[in-house]
Structure 1
Amino acid sequence: MPAWTPPTLRGYQRGWVRYDVLAGIAAGTVVIPQAMAYATIAGLPVEVGLYTCMLPMLVYAALGGSRSLSISTTSTIAVLTASALAVLPDDRSADELLRDAFTLTILVGLALLLMRLFRLGSLVEQISPATMIGVKTGVGLTVAVSQLPTLLGVSGDSEGEGFFGKLGDTLSKLDDANAVTVVVSAVAIGILYLLRRVAPQVPGPLVVVAGAILLVAMTDVEQHGLALIEQVPSGLPTPTMPMWGDIGVLMPGAAAIAIMAFMETVIVARAQRQRSEPPIDSDQELLANGVAALAGGLSQSMPPAGGFSQSAVNQRAGARTQLAGVVTAVLAVLVALFLGPVLDDLPEAILAAMVMVAVLGLVHPAEFTRLLRIDRAEFWVAVATAVIGLTAGLLLAVGVGVALTLVLVLRAVSQSQVRPVQPRVGGGWTINPETAEDTTAYDDVVLFHLDGGLFTGNAQPTQDAIFAAAIERDPRPVAVVLEAAAVGKVTTPFLDVLEGLHADLGQEGIGFVVAALPPEAAEAARRAPWFTDFETDGLVQPTVDAAIERGRRG
């Protein structure tokens, strides 16, 4: 195939066409109504969600590396979009607010492309799973409570009051709930859960949407208080110009959305990848997601990201390549061109029911229990992120979660990198206490294994740990031996630690010898005059045994 062939279409086989077409249609029956529902979370017209299934999906099909990922938008991205737009001044007209939303999508694309330019994919992937758990919990509960007024047929007047304010406001209006709306909502939620459990191959969103439209068309149910969505315009999106003056206000939100969009896309792509498929390249996903967002911003779309539910439908239906995504995009175009008047009969409660079922799937208390059992620090990161998301806003929660992740990473990499070395039963040396020989033959020497290279963060803790172990030994050892076979790269902090230990231990009358330094590392270390003298004195030995012998000679 030509070099410009999309990555997932290389090596395409003719027999795959049937599977891709069927999978694209199946995914479309889920992703299109779901994306329309997610647009309401962001406070945008439902057609914006529909448009997000067009150009962004086509762009990802051309550039993305996952064969079965279905990219449109997600509940997390929708609620972050709402949070980012909420910081704008209140004097924005409806048209200006829409242009701001599309400007935000463009900024998300630019942020993703900047991350690709500086190859930050692997760095962003270091964000703690606890942060993701906390953010998703905050998203799930926040979105769920925001849908309650629509599900009950009451007004929601607690904008900006957070999770608890909205919940309290809704509970105070229970007496005003519309019975017809409540019944329709309950039936829709019941059908969605039932189909998900007993017939996952049946597109639940399509079933409830079609059923509700038929109900409205054949009865006068809307006359009894069942609210319908705003009129959906027929036709395709047109290019829009950004709101240049609001870029500074929108940029922080765009950065947070870019991080979450990339994380969701990569997580889903890797979960969906088959063993026979190429590995997922984070830089490739940054490029594909970034260009998709740019195209979406110019075509009236929300920020795109990979969604798990529609991707799962895509994969279950037998998708072989991103041709399935092209089919889904074509289906979205057909819906926009010909089904706008039909969608006018869709009740708001149906979209709210789809959102409710989708977002409650983000809340998993068992994940908090698992974190508590394994790592209390990660548990508190998840709790803090979730609480901040519920009280102060999800954009702040993402920022705090990233900051806490950085703290955890710095804590992990700032630990001492040495472990005791002991004689192994049967000969040799080991760092595993279970295979070590219980002997007093080496009580006059302190032996350490260096786990890897040293840098600014872990150099001083490593030096302190070695020195403390030596001077606290009773009786005092004659030498300290540092086995450095795992050192792959010599750094300035590594050489500073060796020089510092040599000087500090020498003042205490304790020798210091380095053992098993790899030849490449030793060659690099010789560029430092101090190390050359250190080696000339015989204080760099090829084996632990030779180092012990040299240390005992003083």
Structure 2
Amino acid sequence: MKHILCSTMKNYKKEYLPKDIFSGIIMAAVSIPISMGYAQIAGLPAVYGLYGSVFPILFFALFSTSRQFIFGVDAAPAAIVGAALVSLGIESGSEAAMQYVPVIAFLTGIWLLLFYFLKAGRIVDFISTPVMGGFISGIALTIILMQIPKILGGKAGSGELPELLRHIAETCKEISWLSVVLGVGALLLLRMAGKVIPKFPAAIVIMAAGVAATMCFRVDEHGVVLLDAVEKGLPKLVHFHFAGIDLRQALGRSLMIAAVIMSETLLSENNFAMKNGYKIDENQEILACAMGNITAACVGCCPVNGSISRTSMNEQYEGKTQAVSVVAAITMAAVLLCATGFIGYLPVPILTAIVISALMNVVELHLAVRLFKVSRNEFYIFVAACVSVLFLGTIYGVVIGLLLSFVAVVLRATNPPRSFRGMIPGKEAYYDLKRNRNAYPIRHTIIYRFSENLFFANVKIFQSDIENSIKEDTKVVIVDAAAINSIDVTAADRLEMMAENFDKKGIRFYITEHSENVNEQMRSLGIGHLIEEGKVRRTILAALQDAGVATPGTSMESEKSPVIQMPWQLEIPAAVHAVHEAMIPAEEENTLEEFAWAFGDDAVEEMEKKVHQVMEQIHRLPDLERLADVGFEEKLKNWHSLGALDEDEILRRMEMHLDELPENLRGDKKVILQLIEKRRRKIEQQLLMHHPEILDHLKKNRERLERRLEKQNPEAARKLHEWERQMREK
């Protein structure tokens, strides 16, 4: 087993040690109130919470692959055990409870071992980030609500949101205002310290202040609850007594707890791992949880779980490895042996504030805000996961979370991104017609891209999109299937039917750009004849050529001549310029194609960055006169990545920035202007050769661009016009 032990401490660096020791001591300190409180919720004497913070977390640390996750007595398992005792009529703290609870912990460990052998850690692969964030936030909010009554001077709550709110309302009837002042004051100090001096151990200082307040001012005599005093000594091994225990009921309850521990721990560990840039072995984490729970049972403790609040504090104090857990266990053992006296002086409200402060960092409000801005559907999934945990508890929250993840997958698959494609003059790729104003469809041709696997739930959308786009003059339909990696039998039958219908209408139908795997699926599904009939082509270009549609620089065979050159034809409306000018003010006309598509409202700013990149390249070019003869543009890396309209605007913006040239190039300003003009003429020649219909559009764009640039940078425009006037006069 050596290869799976202490994995986070392999290649340990000595610079980790100070932070690991410091964070471990803090973990032990904050675990005192947390673990004692949850032990009491589980029906055990408070000291057993401290017992659960020694050997169980040591065994977890030995097997865990998470660098920073902290294990111990925690809310969800304790609440489930406590509810089980109530349903069985077992009094909290009784001999029956102390016999029953360790058996539940032992059976929980056995279930977790079974999950480990079944490799159940894969469950995390089916949970999306919104679900995970909502789940973790729901747990954190639940524990915060459990803790609030302790600040008010009462006992911790249990159950789900309605029970927790009811318990808070009842506690308010007998509120201790001094407890509120201590708890809220400590919470405010902790939050301020976290923002101003995040590395300062404010929690320990506040705990020390709480002990001092008890000793000096006897706050306990004014309604402030203190932690129970604890006897010295390490935990002893216990003997399990199965007699008198309904094993069927215990197995069912422990299975629920094991599922909660596995789900909550794995989700939380993955969340922290993603934030901090490392990976965990989910299945081994289940083994670590199993070993921790079996060890907890051996010392008479309740089931133990990963702690979000303590892990959040460990992250805050930059603990690097599971050495933190080892230090925390050793510190807790030292407290049990030598220093239990001070525990009875710790005010519960102050310790509760420390726990709540840590949990507030776990609530992923930032993720909720981000999802609300970018994806409302995923925001609603986040909220649903969070609310399900609050109202239904952890185990049902996991189930609902999994269902929501699958719903999200289905929604995406049944309404995938899709678009009709055309071409931008001066560029050879195929672009979304809706998102690129100067992209136009190829005449008589439909190019349709479907960005999802094709199966029974979305093939109707696929078919409807294509059939609704057919016009009277449509002769070719091409499916860009680059994103389609699989098809099912329903989709195969529908493709076959569509091909037959298009044949009857005299429309050529092609499926292109997909992987060889899709061809194998088509043959196995009985539509391999589409391949044999030439309806399946490797590329869109091959389909266009087969259909007799002309493309730039391609050759076509005809009856009169074996090989002829065909012009490229786009469906550009004759009145396109008039429409543009009627609808959009000239100075607001956005001629940036690639930049408008990529950067939206930031297009002008990004265009300026591109200009400066080209200018910097010019700064580094020697002997511009000689380069003008051998091909100036070949030396510029950024020159050829744009369409004709974008590049034409780049050239004009370059002219406006020529005053930014360094002193050693100021004398070459005339040469650079000549080279820019040479490049501009080359663009016009290319358009005249391949796209004469767009050349007039380019000239009108230049006029609109000139007006816009004069408005954006009037001083630079004035200087450039003056320079051009001087050059013409010379």
Amino acid at match of 2:275: A
Matching residue of 1:247: 251
Query: Which amino acid is 2:530 matched to?
Result: F
Q: Which has the higher contact order (CA 8 A, sep 6+)?
A: 1
Distance in 1 (CA, whole Å) between partners of 2:506 and 2:7 is 64
Equivalents in 2 of 1:480, 1:112: separation in Å? 55
Q: Does 1:525 align with 2:524?
A: no
Give the 3 Å change call, closer, same or farther, for CA 495–424 of structure 1 in structure 2: farther
Instruction: Say if 2:60 and 2:71, in contact at 8 Å, map to a contact too.
Output: no
Q: Distance in 2 between matches of 1:361 and 1:139?
A: 12
Alignment partner, residue 264 of structure 2:
260
Cα 1:407/1:115, change in 2 over 3 Å? farther
Q: 1:32 to 1:4 in 2, by over 3 A?
A: same
Alignment partner, residue 28 of structure 2: 28
In the TM superposition, what whole-angstrom CA distance separates every residue of 1:314-335 from its partner, at most 9, and x where no partner exists? Answer: 6745x45333332222212222
Q: Which has the larger radius of gyration?
A: 2
Please tell me whether residue 270 in structure 1 is matched to residue 274 in structure 2. yes
Correspondence for 2:230: 232
Instruction: Give, in whole Å, the separation in 2 of the partners of 1:406 and 1:194.
Output: 41
Task: Say if 1:45 and 1:366 are closer, same or farther in 2 by CA, change over 3 A.
Answer: farther
Q: Residues 237 and 128 (structure 1 numbering): CA distance in 2 closer, same or farther, change over 3 Å?
A: farther
Which residue type is aligned with residue 426 of structure 1? G
Q: Does 1:515 align with 2:512?
A: yes
Deviations 1:460-488 (A, max 9, x none): 41354234422552226334322334455
Shift of 1:540: 2.0
Deviation of 1:263 after TM superposition, in Å, equals: 0.7
Q: 1:110 to 1:382 in 2, by over 3 A?
A: farther
Change in 2 beyond 3 A, CA 1:527/1:287 = farther
CA deviation profile, 1:107-126 (whole Å, cap 9, x unmatched): 65556555555555454254
* Amino acid across the alignment from 1:248: G
Alignment partner, residue 374 of structure 2: 374
Cα distance in 2, alignment partners of residues 218 and 408 from structure 1: 58
In structure 1, give the amino acid aligned to 2:413: V
Structure 1 segment 43-442 matched on structure 2, within 5 A = 45-67=45-67, 69-73=68-72, 78-79=75-76, 81-83=78-80, 85-86=82-83, 89-94=87-92, 95-97=95-97, 101-102=101-102, 105=105, 109=109, 116-119=116-119, 121=121, 123-136=123-136, 138-154=138-154, 162-171=163-172, 173=173, 176-178=174-176, 180-217=178-215, 220-233=218-231, 234-236=233-235, 238-239=237-238, 241=240, 244=247, 245-273=249-277, 279-299=279-299, 300-305=301-306, 307=308, 309-310=310-311, 312-313=313-314, 316=317, 319-363=319-363, 367-391=367-391, 393=393, 395-416=395-416, 418-433=418-433, 434=435, 438-442=439-443
Q: Deviations over 1:40-66 (max 9, x none)?
A: 566654434433433343234323223
Q: Cα RMSD over matched residues? A: 4.1
Q: What does residue 538 of structure 1 align with?
A: 534
1:66-112 CA distance string (max 9 Å, x none): 33x041248xx514641564255141233444565555555655565
Summarize the Cα distance change of 1:320–1:509 in structure 2 as closer, same or farther, 3 Å threshold.
same
Tell me, in whole angstroms, the C-alpha distance in 2 between the residues paired with 1:120 and 1:249. 19
Q: Does 1:466 align with 2:467?
A: no
The answer as to whether partners of 2:36 and 2:47 remain within 8 angstroms in 1 is yes
Structure 2 residue aligned with 1:447: 447
Q: Is the 8 A contact 2:262 2:286 kept in 1?
A: no
Contact 1:112 1:286 survives alignment (8 Å)? yes
Instruction: Mark the CA change 1:398 to 1:492 in structure 2 (over 3 Å): closer, same or farther.
Output: same
Mark the CA change 1:380 to 1:548 in structure 2 (over 3 Å): closer, same or farther: same
Match of 2:526, SS state, is: helix
Q: Who is 2:481 aligned against?
A: 484
Looking at structure 2, the residues matched to 150 and 265 of structure 1 have their Cα atoms a distance apart, in angstroms, of 28
Give the aligned partner of residue 576 of structure 2: none
CA contact (8 A) 1:463 1:501 kept: no
Relative to 1, partners in 2 of residues 1:521 and 1:383: Cα closer, same or farther, differing over 3 Å?
closer
Contact 2:36-2:50 within 8 A present in 1 as well? yes
Instruction: Tell me, in whole angstroms, the C-alpha distance in 2 between the residues paired with 1:405 and 1:428.
Output: 39
Give yes or no for contact 2:111–2:254 (8 Å, CA) kept in 1.
no
TM-score by length of 1: 0.80
- Give yes or no for contact 2:40–2:46 (8 Å, CA) kept in 1: yes
Aligned to 2:543: 547
Identify the residue that residue 499 of structure 2 maps to in structure 1: 502
8 Å CA contact 1:478, 1:509 repeated in 2: yes
Whether the 8 Å contact between 1:37 and 1:351 is mirrored in structure 2 is no
Match of 1:65, SS?
Answer: coil
Whether the 8 Å CA contact 1:26–1:314 is kept in 2: the answer is no
Deviations 1:223-253 (A, max 9, x none): 4444333343432253464763322144335
Alpha-carbon shift at residue 10 of structure 1 (Å)? 2.6
Structure 1 residue matching 2:511: 3-state secondary structure: strand
> Can you list the C-alpha shifts for 1:287-342, whole angstroms capped at 9, x where unaligned?
4344434444444254321536545546745x453333322222122223333344
Counting aligned pairs with the same residue, the percent is: 23
In the TM superposition, what is the alpha-carbon distance from 1:402 to its structure 2 partner? 3.5
Q: Which amino acid aligns with 1:305?
A: G
Residue 35 of structure 1 contacts residue 49 of structure 1 at CA under 8 Å; is this kept in 2? Answer: yes
Cα distance between partner residues in 1 of 2:280 and 2:6: 14
Secondary structure class of the residue paired with 1:379: helix
Q: CA deviation at 1:406?
A: 2.7
Residue segments in structure 2 that go unaligned for 5+ positions in a row: 550-730
How far apart, CA to CA, are the structure 2 residues paired with 1:40 and 1:98?
Answer: 11
Letter of the structure 1 residue corresponding to residue 531 of structure 2:
E
Q: What's the CA shift for 1:204?
A: 3.6
Which amino acid in 2 is paired with 1:470? E
Counterpart CA distance in 2 for 1:85 and 1:31 is 20
Matched AA of 1:451? S
Give the 3 Å change call, closer, same or farther, for CA 283–548 of structure 1 in structure 2: farther
Q: 1: distance between equivalents of 2:177 and 2:439?
A: 77
Paired residue type of 1:91:
G
What SS is found at the alignment partner of 1:246? helix
Structure 1 residue 391: deviation in Å?
A: 4.8
Give the total of aligned pairs.
Answer: 537
Q: Return the alpha-carbon distance in structure 2 between the equivalents of residues 116 and 305 of structure 1.
A: 16
Q: In terms of mean alpha carbon deviation, does 183-192 or 323-332 score higher?
A: 183-192
Contact 1:153–1:181 at 8 Å: present in 2 too?
yes
Task: Measure how far apart 1:413 and its partner are.
Answer: 2.5
Comparing 241-250 with 487-496, greater Cα deviation is found at 487-496
Amino acid at match of 1:86: A
Q: What's the CA shift for 1:221? A: 4.3
Contact 2:6 2:63 in 1 (8 A): yes
Secondary structure class of the residue paired with 2:226: coil
Amino acid of the structure 1 residue aligned with 2:170: D
> Post-superposition shift, 1:24?
3.1
Deviations 1:475-533 (A, max 9, x none): 263343223344556765664554354345456654432223434543x3375273443
How far residue 285 of structure 1 moved from its aligned partner, in angstroms, is 3.6
Contact persistence 2:261–2:306 (CA under 8 A): no
Q: Distance in 2 between matches of 1:99 and 1:404?
A: 39
Gaps of 5+ in 1: none
Relative to 1, partners in 2 of residues 1:372 and 1:106: Cα closer, same or farther, differing over 3 Å?
farther
- Measured in 2, the distance between the counterparts of 1:107 and 1:428 equals 66
Tell me the amino acid that sits aligned with residue 252 of structure 2.
Answer: G
Q: Structure 1 424/312 Cα, relative in aligned 2: closer, same or farther at 3 Å?
A: farther
